């Protein structure tokens, strides 16, 4: 570093370079000076990172050795616990990732995670995650709280307020009810969406095109039957405002009349081949022999299901197989939460000129420049991630009408009907508290996880300005937001001061950076877990796995039709894909 910094500043002084390069080195020098001058502002982040070595790999604090221990996957669970305890929720996330991964990979990958994993291999993921997080969450929380409390008692604030700028400070002071709030309810309806998937990387033939399909089960026992479209039966057109388990039909000869079924039980989606002749493939694995019924296989967000095999080379459309990308457990993203509400308020601010409050500015993950400034063409996806139109346009036109968010890999159907049911904002404000209370007494709350999540979230997010939001509903959203951010990971600054570029965000980089660090540590520090899942990207898996955590997936009542969702243009309810 020192060498090149030296060159940078040297080149600044004597400027022997051609224009572009000179500007480039000026830029470097600029950022250098900036980060120097603003080192005071960095204090909070530094203190955070020195306390939490995992969060910032670059920190060479006294605890660095511990970092190595915590990071390495070799040591057993015991050695991981202390490490875990220090980093509240991100590590929990990563352990979730590990937990699930170890399930899917071979037994030899005995990683740092839970002792309870082998016993529960065949049970559903949710249950396992619940227990895993319960086991892991509890000790961390107490310790983490104790630590932060001791370290920050003098500065701690009674509640996360918009004015608070120091990320870690509010950590010790989470209201205890935050700990208990999880929207859990057994009678919530489950939604699943099917998107066409093109296997572009294996240069195979395109699969059968179809419009994205969404289904919301009217009851837990309903089953979504998938088979060949038949002219005689036609495809019943489900009423888009009601839950429906209408069968899904594909116009392909390689799809059997009764091909497979999607079943929702115990908070988990499953797929079953019901005796198709040309097979159902889950992530390239055939579920059963021809004409044989398979057992239930659990599916998760991002899984690829293929129906049949191309016949006669698939030259004709009617002989092409169907490849479906599954989207489920995503509805936490479609509800109002800190992240998308924040975006909403920013957008409201856009036209207000200089007086507007841009403190929540997020950067464009493509160019890493600040996004939300007036007079720029922006594009916002359904997941509330925002980019410059110019930066994202390439991806917009690539698979139109399908758009995959490069930050969180959520799919949006760009050709979907405009959803105009989002006019009652106040409704949700009023609902928030109710929701919180009603869910408070739910029995299923995994006491271990929530606290951990809430802790981090508050420390990371709680100080964001949330003018529109009553505090009572915050905890709930906070849990959600935390996930959003984890998944949002890489689009944040890597903690080296680039957020500094717009002056108004000077109180914001700290949360941002720590977020990023959280996310990065979650992704980076677990090598081992990629190879086993070629179809799933670690970074993308993370959010999904987290979506599987008991708290959230039931928080995310998968019902797209509840009035809870109509809280403004940024809450998305899954109707987008419905036809």
Partner 1 sequence: MGSQKRIAKELSELVESPPDGITVELADEANLYKWKVFMEGPEGSPYQDGKFLVNLTLPTEYPFKPPTVSFGTKIYHPNVTNDDKGSMCLGMLRADEWKPSSKIAAVLQFARQLLLEPMPDDAIEGRIAEQYKNDRKRYDEIAREWTRKWAVSE
**Measured in whole angstroms, how far is the alpha carbon of residue 84 from the centre of its chain?**
21
Site for partner 1 in 22-81 (CB under 8 A): 24, 27-28, 30-32, 35, 57-60, 64, 68, 71-74
Q: Minimal CA–CA distance to 485: which of 450, 520, 452?
A: 520
Which residue number, 268 or 542, has a Cβ lying nearer to partner 1? 542
Q: Which of 184, 372, 540, 571 is in the footprint of partner 1 by CB under 8 A? A: 540
Cis, peptide link before residue 401, omega less than 30° from 0: yes
Considering just the CA atoms, what is the radius of gyration of the chain in Å?
A: 24
Which residue number, 414 or 537, has a Cβ lying nearer to partner 1? 537
Site for partner 1 in 481-510 (CB under 8 A): 489-491, 493-498
Site string for partner 1, 76-115 (x = CB under 8 A): -----------------------------xx--x------
Least distance between partner 1 and beta carbon 1 (Å): 5
Least distance between partner 1 and beta carbon 83 (Å): 15
Spatial contact of 454 and 173, defined as CB atoms under 8 Å apart: no
Strands (E) across 348-470 are located at 378-380, 386-388, 402-404, 411-413
Site for partner 1 in 160-199 (CB under 8 A): none
Which residue number, 488 or 507, has a Cβ lying nearer to partner 1? 488
Spatial contact of 566 and 424, defined as CB atoms under 8 Å apart: yes
**Does residue 365 interact with partner 1 by CB under 8 A?**
yes
Q: Which of 330, 520, 552, 564 is in the footprint of partner 1 by CB under 8 A? A: 520
Which residue number, 258 or 390, has a Cβ lying nearer to partner 1? 390
Least distance between partner 1 and beta carbon 195 (Å): 15
Which residue number, 21 or 186, has a Cβ lying nearer to partner 1? 21
Measure the CA–CA gap between 336 and 213, rounded to whole angstroms.
23
- How many binding residues for partner 1 (CB under 8 A)? 64
Number of other CB atoms surrounding residue 546 within 10 Å:
30
Helix, strand or coil, per DSSP, at residue 322? strand
Cβ burial of 314 (10 Å; 0-12, 13-18, 19+) is buried
Secondary structure string (H, E, C) spanning 422-455:
CCCHHHHHHHHHHHHHHHHCCCCCCCCHHHHHHH
Helices 449-461 and 509-524 cross at an angle (nearest 10°) of 140
Spatial contact of 361 and 512, defined as CB atoms under 8 Å apart: no
Piece in contact with partner 1 (CB under 8 A), picked from 262-270, 325-333, 336-344, 521-529 = 521-529
Least distance between partner 1 and beta carbon 300 (Å): 17
Least distance between partner 1 and beta carbon 269 (Å): 23
Measure the CA–CA gap between 71 and 89, rounded to whole angstroms.
15
Helix, strand or coil, per DSSP, at residue 370? strand
Least distance between partner 1 and beta carbon 214 (Å): 24
Site string for partner 1, 454-483 (x = CB under 8 A): ------------------------------
Q: What is the full DSSP assignment across 30-55? A: HHHHHHHHGGGTTHHHHHHHHH-TTT
**Measured in whole angstroms, how far is the alpha carbon of residue 41 from the centre of its chain?**
29
**Does residue 325 interact with partner 1 by CB under 8 A?**
no
Q: Which of 52, 181, 361, 366 is in the footprint of partner 1 by CB under 8 A? A: 366
Q: Which of 76, 209, 401, 531 is in the footprint of partner 1 by CB under 8 A? A: 531
Which residue number, 181 or 545, has a Cβ lying nearer to partner 1? 545
Phi then psi for 119, rounded to 5 degrees? -70, -25
Which residue number, 106 or 187, has a Cβ lying nearer to partner 1? 106
Q: Which of 21, 149, 186, 292 is in the footprint of partner 1 by CB under 8 A? A: 21
Piece in contact with partner 1 (CB under 8 A), picked from 86-94, 420-428, 469-477, 535-543 = 535-543
Instruction: Kindly give, in sequence order, each residue whose CB lies less than 8 Å from that of residue 227, ignoring residues fewer than 6 positions away.
Output: 247, 248, 249, 250, 255, 256, 257, 258, 259
Q: Which of 176, 187, 234, 394 is in the footprint of partner 1 by CB under 8 A? A: 394
Helices 338-349 and 474-488 cross at an angle (nearest 10°) of 80
Dihedral of the alpha carbons of 158, 162, 167, 169, in degrees to the nearest 10: -20
Least distance between partner 1 and beta carbon 574 (Å): 23
Q: If you count DSSP H runs as helices and E runs as strands, how many of each does the chain have, helices first? A: 16, 15
Q: Which of 256, 407, 459, 559 is in the footprint of partner 1 by CB under 8 A? A: 407
Measure the CA–CA gap between 101 and 502, rounded to whole angstroms.
40
Least distance between partner 1 and beta carbon 66 (Å): 12
Least distance between partner 1 and beta carbon 57 (Å): 5
**Does residue 396 interact with partner 1 by CB under 8 A?**
no
Number of other CB atoms surrounding residue 397 within 10 Å:
10
Site for partner 1 in 372-391 (CB under 8 A): 390-391
Q: Minimal CA–CA distance to 129: which of 266, 36, 28?
A: 266
Which residue number, 164 or 410, has a Cβ lying nearer to partner 1? 410
**Does residue 119 interact with partner 1 by CB under 8 A?**
no
Helices 474-488 and 425-440 cross at an angle (nearest 10°) of 100
Point out which residues bind partner 1 (CB under 8 A). 1, 3-5, 7-8, 17, 21, 24, 27-28, 30-32, 35, 57-60, 64, 68, 71-74, 105-106, 109, 200-201, 365-369, 390-391, 394-395, 406-407, 409, 489-491, 493-498, 520, 523-525, 527-528, 530-532, 537-540
């Amino acid at each position: 570093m020192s060498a090149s910094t030296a060159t940078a500043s040297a080149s600044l002084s004597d400027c022997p370079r051609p224009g572009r390069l000179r500007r480039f080195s000026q830029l470097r020098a600029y950022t250098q000076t900036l980060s120097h001058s603003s080192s005071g502002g960095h204090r909070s982040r530094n203190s955070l990172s020195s306390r939490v070595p995992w969060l910032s790999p670059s920190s060479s604090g006294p605890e660095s050795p511990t970092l190595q221990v915590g990071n390495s996957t070799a040591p057993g669970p015991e050695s991981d616990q202390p490490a875990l305890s220090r980093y509240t929720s991100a590590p929990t996330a990563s352990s979730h990732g590990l937990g699930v991964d170890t399930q899917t990979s071979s037994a030899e990958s005995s990683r740092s995670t839970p002792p309870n994993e082998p016993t529960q291999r065949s049970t559903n993921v949710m249950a396992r995650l619940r227990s895993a997080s319960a086991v892991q969450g509890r000790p961390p929380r107490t310790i983490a709280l104790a630590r932060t409390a001791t370290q920050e008692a003098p500065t701690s604030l009674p509640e996360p307020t918009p004015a608070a700028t120091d990320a870690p400070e509010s950590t010790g002071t989470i209201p205890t009810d935050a700990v208990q709030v999880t929207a859990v309810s057994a009678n919530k309806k489950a939604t699943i969406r099917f998107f066409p998937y093109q296997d572009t990387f294996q240069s195979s033939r395109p699969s059968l095109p179809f419009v994205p399909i969404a289904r919301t089960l009217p009851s837990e026992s309903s089953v979504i039957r998938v088979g060949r479209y038949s002219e005689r039966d036609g495809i019943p057109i489900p009423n888009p405002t009601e839950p429906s388990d209408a069968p899904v039909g594909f116009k392909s000869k390689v799809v059997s009349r009764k091909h497979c079924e999607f079943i929702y039980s115990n908070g988990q989606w499953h797929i079953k081949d019901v005796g198709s002749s040309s097979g159902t493939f889950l992530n390239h694995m055939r579920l059963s022999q021809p004409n044989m019924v398979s057992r239930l296989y659990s599916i998760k967000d991002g899984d690829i299901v293929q129906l049949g095999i191309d016949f006669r080379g698939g030259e004709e459309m009617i002989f092409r197989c169907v490849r479906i990308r599954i989207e489920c457990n995503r509805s936490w993203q479609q509800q109002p939460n800190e992240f998308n509400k924040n975006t909403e308020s920013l957008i409201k601010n856009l036209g207000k000129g200089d007086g507007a409050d841009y403190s929540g500015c997020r950067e464009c993950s493509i160019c890493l420049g600040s996004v939300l400034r007036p007079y720029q063409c922006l594009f916002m996806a359904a997941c509330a991630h925002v980019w410059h139109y110019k930066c994202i346009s390439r991806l917009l036109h690539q698979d139109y009408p399908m758009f995959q968010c490069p930050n969180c890999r959520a799919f949006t159907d760009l050709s979907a009907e405009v959803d105009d049911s989002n006019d009652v904002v106040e409704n949700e404000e009023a609902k928030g508290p109710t929701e919180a209370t009603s869910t408070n007494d739910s029995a299923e709350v995994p006491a271990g996880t929530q606290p951990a999540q809430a802790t981090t979230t508050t420390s990371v997010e709680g100080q964001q300005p949330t003018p529109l939001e009553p505090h009572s509903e915050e905890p709930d959203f906070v849990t959600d937001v935390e996930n959003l951010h984890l998944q949002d990971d890489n689009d944040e600054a890597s903690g080296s001061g680039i957020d500094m570029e717009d002056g108004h965000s000077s109180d914001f980089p700290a949360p941002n950076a720590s977020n990023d660090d959280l996310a990065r540590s979650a992704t980076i520090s677990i090598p081992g877990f990629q190879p086993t899942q070629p179809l799933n990207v670690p970074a993308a898996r993370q959010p999904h796995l987290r979506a599987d955590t008991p708290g959230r997936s039931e928080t995310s009542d998968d019902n797209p039709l509840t009035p809870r969702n109509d809280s403004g243009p940024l809450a998305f309810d899954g109707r987008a894909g419905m036809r």
